[in-house]
């Protein structure tokens, strides 16, 4: 039983880390789009990063910055 719980905990940590890694990918895509002046695309990518990792403070900040640029 202990082994099964340990395996489940390890698998859960991999899933969580995978979601955070995916969030970073979307965040970086958002930064690229921001640099190219594609604010709407950047906002969409930052929003996806936040969905994958709700504790991703930089994604909230940069999304807010892009919305501010659009006067939204």
pTM reported for the whole predicted model: 0.76
Which pair of structure tokens corresponds to residue 63? 């999304």
Digit-coded pLDDT (tens) for 33-65 = 999 999 999 999 999 999 999 999 999 999 999
Angle (CA) 62 67 70, round 5°? 130
| pLDDT for position 65 | 95
pLDDT score for 2: 60
Euclidean distance between CA atoms 26 and 3, whole angstroms = 35
Q: In the structure, what pLDDT confidence band is assigned to residue 20 with cuts at 50, 70 and 90?
A: confident
- The two tokens of residue 60 are 């909230």
């Amino acid at each position: 039983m202990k082994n099964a719980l340990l395996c489940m905990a390890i698998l859960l940590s991999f899933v969580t880390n995978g979601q955070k890694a995916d969030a970073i990918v979307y965040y970086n895509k958002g930064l690229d789009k921001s640099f190219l002046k594609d604010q709407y695309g950047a906002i969409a990518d930052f929003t996806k990063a936040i969905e994958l990792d709700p504790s991703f403070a930089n994604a909230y900040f940069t999304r807010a910055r892009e919305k501010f640029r659009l006067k939204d």
